[in-house]
Amino acid sequence: MKNDNRKITTRKPGSGRKVGSGTFREETSVIRVPNSQKPVIIDFLESYAKKQRQAEQKDNLDAVDEFSEPVLGLPSLSLPLYQSKVPAGLPAPADNDVEEQIDMYEYLIRDGNDTFFITIQGESMIEAGLMPGDKAIVVKGKQASLGDIVLAMIDGEFTVKTLSKQPNGLPKLLPENSSGKYAPILITKQMEFEITGVVTGSFRRFK
């Protein structure tokens, strides 16, 4: 009788990759494929996963619209800033209440070469004061810090959110709307992610 020296291994409970930790966050199974087709299948699955992520995130993104640049070389235009606080409905303050003159261009735009405007869509950032139709001022190349409002690109789609961080160190984008309609966006290593610029202000017209 021959001795069978083959080693029998057993799997410890809970060992191996956890269920839901892969790209598709579900159980996996082993299949055999030709080696020559592995790259094709991997590319297909990555593209499919990307489309799924885009569909899931579409409601949270509030995609940005209408990129535009400031007109450079404009003459200075200083307007009066009144020192008195004026409640709505009362008469206009007197001329002698003028505290200083403000050039709106200099006040809103620090570097015209690195600044552009975007139009806000959706209501995910209303509690940060960004309403649908507002023009947000974005400075590209500015170093973003946690808590900054940023213009980010996720898988080819632009969105404006507050920058935060996950426990694993990866970025997290937070909406500023307590209605519960918008969920935080958790950035994963599989996503194409880039911070395009930091939002430094906004403005709107009523008429």
Q: Which CATH number belongs to the domain containing residue 117 in this structure?
A: 2.10.109.10
List the domain range (segments joined by +) for residue 82: 77-108
Structural domain contains residue 46: yes
Q: What is the per-residue pLDDT for 108?
A: 84
Tokens of 170: 């990866």
Residues 123 and 63 in one domain: yes
Structural domain contains residue 90: yes
Mean pLDDT, each 10-residue run in order, the chain (207 residues) = 53 54 66 82 74 59 75 74 59 62 81 88 94 92 94 91 96 95 92 94 89
Q: What is the per-residue pLDDT for 55?
A: 58
Tokens of 121: 């869509």
Give the burial class of 202: count Cβ atoms within 10 A of its Cβ; 0-12 exposed, 13-18 middle, 19 or more buried. Answer: buried
Residues 101 and 136 in one domain: no
Active-site hit among 124, 135, 142, 202: 124
User: How many domains is the chain partitioned into structurally?
Assistant: 2
Active-site hit among 135, 142, 161, 202: 161
Backbone angles phi, psi at 32, to 5 degrees: -100, 130
First to last CA, the chain: 97
Residues 104 and 147 in one domain: no
179 CB neighbour count, 10 Å cutoff: 10
Query: Among the residues of the chain, which ranges form H helices?
Result: 38-61, 104-108
Residues 180 and 129 in one domain: yes
Can you give the pTM of this predicted structure? 0.65
Residues 56 and 149 in one domain: yes
Residues 56 and 101 in one domain: no
Residues 96 and 191 in one domain: no
Q: Please tell me the distance from the alpha carbon of residue 199 to that of residue 98, in angstroms, as a whole number.
A: 30
Residues 93 and 189 in one domain: no
Structural domain contains residue 125: yes
Q: What is the per-residue pLDDT for 123?
A: 92
Give CA angle at 37 (36, 38), nearest 5°: 100
Residues 154 and 186 in one domain: yes
124 an active-site residue? Answer: yes
Does residue 81 contact residue 87 with C-beta atoms inside 8 Å?
A: no
Structural domain contains residue 1: no
Q: What is the per-residue pLDDT for 16?
A: 54
Q: What is the per-residue pLDDT for 102?
A: 80
- Among 91, 108, 125, the domain-final residue is 108
User: Edge to edge, what strands does the sheet with 171-174 contain?
Assistant: 65-68, 115-119, 135-140, 193-203, 149-154, 157-165, 171-174, 185-186
Which residues make Cβ contacts (< 8 Å) with residue 29, sequence separation at least 6? none
Q: What is the per-residue pLDDT for 159?
A: 93
Residues 151 and 100 in one domain: no
Q: What is the per-residue pLDDT for 47?
A: 72
CA 11 to chain centre: 42
Q: What is the per-residue pLDDT for 138?
A: 94
- Among 56, 87, 108, the domain-final residue is 108
Residues 100 and 161 in one domain: no
Residues 128 and 86 in one domain: no
